[in-house]
Structure 1
């Protein structure tokens, strides 16, 4: 099942995409409790699509207001090495705040603080069932679906201190795809899927989720070891090698550039640099 968040007439709603047609399901859930009900309906086949959506719509973020955005750094060995690090035994974990996110098609800028904008293509995991201390062999039961994320980073701010938070939370830099694909339409744990970043038509990153150091189930188990996951929480699973800062010379995104992130069978998300 392919779901899409969209905005029409000032409201954010959820629809079902089927053969190119978008059929309305209802208002997008406002909280983790509402998202839990949506996940339960999806699991039991109780989602009933309504009328075909007519007229112009804008892509929206499928993100509930109280979602936590949990990001995994250095989850691909070659990406760790291109930055001068060895692959970690425990993932680098950081958080994004809600104001750092933007919908597909957004125009992204650093707000005038930097000219070192970098792309990061990532698979996004959407939690459907919360929990704490989730065993790895049960973790995929907690996944509502998968999406596409571009973790655009302001590299000089990321490197100002020991923590990455400043460079990862500039307003409107995390581009969230509007679609969520539910697990039955994908390989277990979204394994074996191509992940690419394409800058102005040139492929910059090209890898496969098979080579993640911490696959989806393992990542959920690790994160839920120290915090309670809630329905609607997002986990960005990290980016592969090929990022701009690690190239010689570095490749920074400039005003007018188009950056596209694709995850095979899941979707694509684009943004413009302004």
Structure 2
């Protein structure tokens, strides 16, 4: 099933796509797509009222507790960044205030000189997870989402401290459009993902090229922190980011970013100056 949240920012309602791809309201079944609801998505039915018109589509998960990102999880991306692939999953946190909808604009923060793109497959936790094994991971997963881990490279690499400064600006975490339940993704380790900027292909990769497969990475991280329903884990990006180009290429106001992850939908974002 494909779940969505629709409506103006801060006033989103839960919805689901029916078998014909039509948006139906879920408000009579759940108040929102968050918390314990994420552990029982399979019990919900796509038989609510049809939603008329073309409402804004927001992030498909509400009340995200934390957003954990796995860095350098594709060897080709590590190579283009001139960084040594890690020996175990490397992580950083993205502030939840960065999360935005899949069609909302990307806002260049004040002083930005190097805002970059990163297409990723995201995992949404549906049930509490702590000290789990790779074989148990999918039992704790509500579904998968497309993520753009937007990054300001100058903030990230040259403004002291860990990556978080360059990862957490407002609108730097577009998620969605859909939360797709695991039964619709035949193999999470064989999912194509790509980004176009102004119609030009920049990234074109596949999750099979991860250094640490999704289940292995999440199980590993569950020994350092517990995961709760609604947490999002972004699993890394393949080569093709602007930082890796010669010379580097970064986003500017007016650019259009088209992101697509097979089975998880498409994002379309315009870049604006903040």
TM-score calculated relative to the size of structure 2: 0.92
Q: 2:207 aligns with which of 206, 209, 223?
A: 209
What is the CA deviation profile of residues 64-102 of structure 1, one whole-angstrom value per residue up to 9, with x for unaligned ones? 225211111001011011111222111220111121121
Q: CA RMSD in A?
A: 1.7
In 1, Cα distance between equivalents of 2:47 and 2:256: 34
| Partner residue in 1 for 2:175 | 176
| Partner residue in 1 for 2:37 | 37
The structure richer in strand per residue is 1
In 1, Cα distance between equivalents of 2:210 and 2:138: 16
Task: Assess if the C-alpha contact under 8 Å between 2:118 and 2:237 holds in 1.
Answer: yes
Write out aligned runs for 1:70-85 (5 A): 70-85=68-83
Write out aligned runs for 1:1-274 (5 A): 1-7=1-7, 11-18=11-18, 19-26=20-27, 29=32, 31-32=34-35, 36-40=36-40, 42-43=41-42, 45-47=43-45, 49-160=47-158, 161-188=160-187, 190-274=188-272
Secondary structure of the residue aligned to 2:70 is strand
Question: Runs of 5+ in structure 1 lacking a partner?
Answer: none
What is the CA deviation profile of residues 227-266 of structure 1, one whole-angstrom value per residue up to 9, with x for unaligned ones? 1100111001111011101100111111110011111111
Task: Assess if the C-alpha contact under 8 Å between 1:6 and 1:178 holds in 2.
Answer: no
What is the CA deviation profile of residues 22-77 of structure 1, one whole-angstrom value per residue up to 9, with x for unaligned ones? 11112553752xxx23422x23x343531101134111112322521111100101
Secondary structure of the residue aligned to 1:159 is helix
Structure 1 residues 76, 183: CA separation in 2 closer, same or farther (over 3 Å shift)?
A: same
> Offset of 1:203 from its aligned partner?
0.7
Task: Assess if the C-alpha contact under 8 Å between 1:28 and 1:62 holds in 2.
Answer: no
> Offset of 1:128 from its aligned partner?
0.7
Secondary structure of the residue aligned to 1:88 is coil
In 2, Cα distance between equivalents of 1:197 and 1:39: 31
Structure 1 residues 210, 225: CA separation in 2 closer, same or farther (over 3 Å shift)?
A: same
Task: Assess if the C-alpha contact under 8 Å between 2:16 and 2:46 holds in 1.
Answer: no
Q: What count of residue pairs does the alignment treat as equivalent?
A: 268
In 2, Cα distance between equivalents of 1:48 and 1:179: 14
Task: Assess if the C-alpha contact under 8 Å between 2:176 and 2:264 holds in 1.
Answer: no
Task: Assess if the C-alpha contact under 8 Å between 2:99 and 2:172 holds in 1.
Answer: yes
Q: Which moved more, 1:247-256 or 1:47-56?
A: 47-56
In 2, Cα distance between equivalents of 1:186 and 1:56: 26
Structure 1 residues 15, 227: CA separation in 2 closer, same or farther (over 3 Å shift)?
A: same
Task: Assess if the C-alpha contact under 8 Å between 1:8 and 1:56 holds in 2.
Answer: no
Secondary structure of the residue aligned to 1:99 is helix
Task: Assess if the C-alpha contact under 8 Å between 1:196 and 1:205 holds in 2.
Answer: yes
